[in-house]
Amino acid sequence: MKILVTGGGTGGHIYPALALIDRIKELHKDTEFLYVGTHRGLESKIVPNHGVSFTPIEVEGFKRSLSLKGIQYNVRTVKLFFQAIQKAKRLIDDFKPDIVVGTGGYVSAPVCYAATKRNIPTVIHEQNSVAGITNKFLAKHVSAIAVGFEEAKNQFKGNEHKVHYTGNPRAQEVAGLEKSNILEEYSLNPDEKTVLIFGGSRGAAKINQVVLDSAKELVKKPYQVIFVTGESHYETISKKWNELVNDNHKNMSAVVVPYINQLPEVFASVSLVVSRSGATTLAEITSLGVPSILIPSPNVTEDHQTKNSHSLEKVGAAVSIKESELSSALFIKTLDELLLDDRKRQEMAKQAKALGKQNASDLLIKLMMDFIK
């Protein structure tokens, strides 16, 4: 069996694709994969490092600006798009996939469109509760649409019959993780209540600032803190942190780190997560049943992170705070309300676990197999 996978730009499109690939390899060891992405996207490094064959094509996303420069850029983008379709057709003709899977990002548009024109079964996956422009464009052409949130079902007007709720493949990949002693690697006690605070791999300026503003209070709390700044912010933030926290508290219960490689393992071992509300992060924490405080990024298409967070908040799995309303006082108050109330946290964990689609990859694979002759 041969499967062509495409998707990229951000980890939210890439990691679900790789989780799906890994699960297919477990079930169908003789499957051959080709991943099509771009040179610029994170996929150009992540996918080859994962041991998956990778081929790039050149394609760009559209600018929303109506300026002369924006219009000129979009004219070039259209030209690249049609060129990418032709290259994708050649790749498809050479590789001869049994099915094509797109996980979003602008690179998946020409590839999936080319596949449909070659009469190759094509399935797209939408991770967010609000469908992206690429997947909306592809909806009428593809064989099936898988979604990670129930709320996304009504995002594909006129193509609802193609929509299947599978959840996010990343959820199944991490679902089996259990609490471990990984906190010891950060000089913390794995048996103590711990909150993990992070704003994504690159960090989030507002979250970082509010944590700094709360530093003197955080080190006095009866719970531990892991504060992930993002690599580009680490030197500045850690210096300010050490200036704010006096010598009596520096090494007690809070650690500042630039990045965590084994994030799902840490999720499984903490009491509470504070984060943005990207689809992959939510897939991981719900599959593990971790309570959360979600601070949606305001700088995303159609404010989809706010809608993602509301899907957890409405069932009591998370507390959502608008970035514009975030302050040190509200931050500390919300942390205390959850970390000092074991019963409330346990109920949130139960609701998060109920949302987690722990067989997401298997459901998506079953959907794919229905179209493979």
pLDDT at position 69? 58
Classify domain 182-355 at the CATH class level: alpha beta
pLDDT at position 303? 85
pLDDT at position 243? 87
How far lies 29's CA from each of 1, 53, 212, 366, in Å? 9, 15, 49, 16
Does the annotation list 7 as a binding residue?
no
Distance CA 152, CA 135 (A): 11
Question: Which range, 21-25, 74-78, 148-152, 231-235, is most confident?
Answer: 21-25
Does the annotation list 12 as a binding residue?
yes
pLDDT at position 41? 85
Banded pLDDT at 74 (limits 50, 70, 90):
low
Give, in degrees to the nearest 5, the angle at Cα 16 between 300 and 126.
Answer: 55
Q: What is the pLDDT of residues 311-363, one digit of tens each?
A: 999 999 999 999 999 999 999 999 999 999 999 999 999 999 998 878 999 99
In our burial notation (b when 16+ CB lie closer than 10 A, e otherwise), range 251-263 reads eebbbbebebeeb
Does the structure show a pLDDT above 80 at 119? yes
Between 301 and 81, the higher pLDDT residue: 81
Q: In one letter, which amino acid is 251?
A: N
Superfamily of domain 2-170+358-369: Glycogen Phosphorylase B; (3.40.50.2000)
Does the structure show a pLDDT above 60 at 65? no
How far lies 236's CA from each of 2, 125, 202, 251, 277, in Å? 48, 38, 14, 19, 25
Between 284 and 65, the higher pLDDT residue: 284
Q: What is the pLDDT of residues 214-252, one digit of tens each?
A: 999 999 999 999 999 988 889 999 899 988 886 555 556
pLDDT at position 252? 61
Does the annotation list 167 as a binding residue?
no
Distance CA 41, CA 29 (A): 28
pLDDT at position 296? 95
Whether residue 194 contacts residue 268, with contact meaning beta carbons closer than 8 Å, is answered with no
Average pLDDT of every residue of the chain? 91
How many C-beta atoms surround the C-beta of residue 217 within 10 A? 14
Does the annotation list 128 as a binding residue?
yes
pLDDT at position 79? 79
Q: Report which of 177, 178, 196, 201 is spatially closest to residue 186, judged by C-alpha positions.
A: 196
What mean pLDDT do residues 9-30 have? 94
Between 304 and 121, the higher pLDDT residue: 121
pLDDT at position 255? 93
Does the structure show a pLDDT above 70 at 34? yes
pLDDT at position 76? 64
Which residues are bridge partners to 6 per DSSP?
36, 102
pLDDT at position 62? 56
How many C-beta atoms surround the C-beta of residue 320 within 10 A? 19
What is the percent of the chain with per-residue pLDDT over 70, rounded to a whole number? 92
Q: Which pair of tokens denotes residue 313?
A: 């908040």
pLDDT at position 104? 92
Banded pLDDT at 71 (limits 50, 70, 90):
low
Does the annotation list 305 as a binding residue?
yes
| 251 phi, psi to nearest 5 deg | -115, 25
Give the range among 61-75, 178-192, 194-208, 264-278 with minimum mean pLDDT: 61-75
pLDDT at position 294? 97
CATH 3.40.50.2000 occupies which residues in the chain?
A: 2-170+358-369, 182-355
